[in-house]
Structure 1
Amino acid sequence: MVKLTVDLVEGAMQYTNPLKDRELDLRGYKVPAIENLGSTLDQFDCIDFTDNEIRKLDNFPLLKRLKALIVTSNKVIRIGEDIVSSLPNLETLILTDNNIAELKDLDPLVPLSKLTFLSLVRCPVTLKMNYRLYVIGRLPQLRFLDFKRITLAERKQARSFVKHLAPVTKTDTISDINNSKSAGVKTFVPGAPVGKKTTDENTDNVALSKPLEKTSSSEQPLPREFPQATLHPGVKRVIMSGGNSQDLNAIQDAIKRAKTMDEVERLHHMLSSGQYAGFAAHWHKQQQSQQQQ
């Protein structure tokens, strides 16, 4: 089993993905745990851990820049309670095809006030009664859950549902994080001089100390998983045909309008594999045909 060493992290494929974000590709290495990400020096907007053996989502250094984390097809059963102190600006979390089984195992995500897109497709927890109501109620900042836009009706139901639940109790709340900083607890900051105290250079974490607010009704583009790049030696590399910005916008619109989970997964597979060239023309033709009918 491969360890996630500094050499592996520094030698992994790095590129600008279709969303114009800097992405680090750590797909297919079969690593069992997250470690040594401090060597990234917080230079990436997205990190892709697809197809590894990760069991717990923790051990991150402070990565203020990181907005998207893709952990598809792993063995994640737990999420570290201190994830908010390491990834305060996380917006997209893809946990498709993992082993999270209990609703309470999702509670560490509650303090992530910027998290708007979450996927738990093919996780055992999705089979729990009132799964969507629980997640939407606990995470009111979400806009999309399992590639499906959260409706106002669902939000209203979820608010009523969580009123009957005990509040989330955490050993590492936002106030605990702020207190630990004032108490002089050492936090590893990528790129900071060794042996010297570090201080926050901006107020990125100020919003985390505020109560979760209701999101606005304005729609945001649907986050996506990104194309494959370099894989572990011996793993077949996917050659991508890709497409232009119109194709990207069209497939995004198609995902938002999809009526079944099978259709969502089919479109999502096209996007993640890069095989969507010419999709815009096909989609517009299909829309015109439906309007004529």
Structure 2
Amino acid sequence: MVKLTIDLVEGAMQYTNPLRDRELDLRGYKVPAIENLGSTLDQFDTIDFTDNEIRKLDGFPLLQRLKSLIMTGNKIIRIGEDLVSSIPNLETLILTDNNIAELKDLDPLAPLTKLTFLSLARCPVTMKMNYRLYVVGRMPQLRFLDFKRITQAERKQARSFVKHLSPLTTAVEANSNKTKTSAVKTFVPGAPVGSKATNDENSEAAKPPQQKHPTNNQPREFPQATLHAGVKRVMLSGGSNQDLLAIQDAIKKAKTMDEVERLHQMLSSGQFAGFAAHWHKQQKH
């Protein structure tokens, strides 16, 4: 696999494109990561990385001149958290045909206040429910998303969507944090450091407390904050009150914490339209 070396960067084709921008052509080299762009001396408005093997959008030095970044046909699954500190003036980002799958993975793009044109076409994330509302709500500076102009009606709906999304996200994260456990080192009198007795104690301390299965007389508790926020989002998600009640019933009857977490994630992401029909069908079997 080719590495993006200084020699490769300096020897790549460079020209003035039809928009009168200075462009660096790094297409098709199959490089796995972005690096050594400091050798460009910040002389380009556009850099084209089409058809490489890049998996994470990061590795940029400070490039204040860079306005357009073309990343079509890579394997990007993550976006660097500090992207705005490296390319603060980015206006156009083309991420068509990559592997970004989750809505939250797009959050690092929000601080790019000058970003007005974004394409995520043919990325798995575009199949997520409320994808456009989420992106427009998180990035109100955008004017075009996936080559389609963002309308004022979309902006209004997106603001409402994000407003109702935030409390639910906070509630789910707080609930998730409560379930996390950490190993506590235990000193066993008379046992040497690193002994089996000490290690066994530490191993037991690291285990999460066992959850008792709910009985018919002891239904599983459904977090009221999550339910309240979920009700507000029923109309936004395309689901119905029946879908929401079905999820509540499913959580009460869940037998494992993994199943409970999966149902909470479904509710928090708004992807529960049609759940009632699926749940009732499952209960008949």
Q: TM-score, normalised by structure 1?
A: 0.57
Q: Measure, in 2, the Cα distance between the counterparts of 1:165 and 1:82.
A: 24
Aligned residue for 1:9, secondary structure, equals: helix
Partner of 1:136: 136
Q: Measure, in 1, the Cα distance between the counterparts of 2:165 and 2:130.
A: 12
User: Gaps spanning 5+ residues in structure 2: where?
Assistant: 171-285
Q: Measure, in 1, the Cα distance between the counterparts of 2:12 and 2:163.
A: 46
Q: Measure, in 1, the Cα distance between the counterparts of 2:166 and 2:153.
A: 23
Partner of 2:156: 156
User: Gaps spanning 5+ residues in structure 1: where?
Assistant: 170-293
Partner of 1:85: 85
Aligned residue for 1:158, secondary structure, equals: helix
Q: Measure, in 2, the Cα distance between the counterparts of 1:165 and 1:90.
A: 27
> Could you list the per-position Cα deviations for residues 239-273 of structure 1 after superposition, in whole angstroms to 9, with x for gaps in the alignment?
xxxxxxxxxxxxxxxxxxxxxxxxxxxxxxxxxxx
| Number of aligned residue pairs | 169
Q: Measure, in 2, the Cα distance between the counterparts of 1:36 and 1:2.
A: 13
Q: Partner letter of residue 64 of structure 1?
A: Q
Q: Measure, in 1, the Cα distance between the counterparts of 2:20 and 2:63.
A: 18
Q: Measure, in 2, the Cα distance between the counterparts of 1:21 and 1:63.
A: 15
Is residue 2 from structure 1 mapped to residue 2 from structure 2 by the alignment?
yes
Partner of 1:108: 108
Q: Partner letter of residue 86 of structure 2?
A: S
Q: Measure, in 1, the Cα distance between the counterparts of 2:164 and 2:29.
A: 43
Aligned residue for 2:98, secondary structure, equals: coil
RMSD: 1.3
Per-residue deviation at 1:166?
2.5
Identity value in percent = 88
Per-residue deviation at 1:114?
0.1
> Could you list the per-position Cα deviations for residues 190-228 of structure 1 after superposition, in whole angstroms to 9, with x for gaps in the alignment?
xxxxxxxxxxxxxxxxxxxxxxxxxxxxxxxxxxxxxxx
Q: Measure, in 1, the Cα distance between the counterparts of 2:104 and 2:93.
A: 17
Larger radius of gyration: 2
Written as runs of structure 1 = structure 2, the 5 A alignment for 1:45-60 is: 45-60=45-60
Q: Partner letter of residue 156 of structure 2?
A: K
Moved over 3 A (4+): none
Q: Partner letter of residue 153 of structure 2?
A: A
Per-residue deviation at 1:101?
0.1
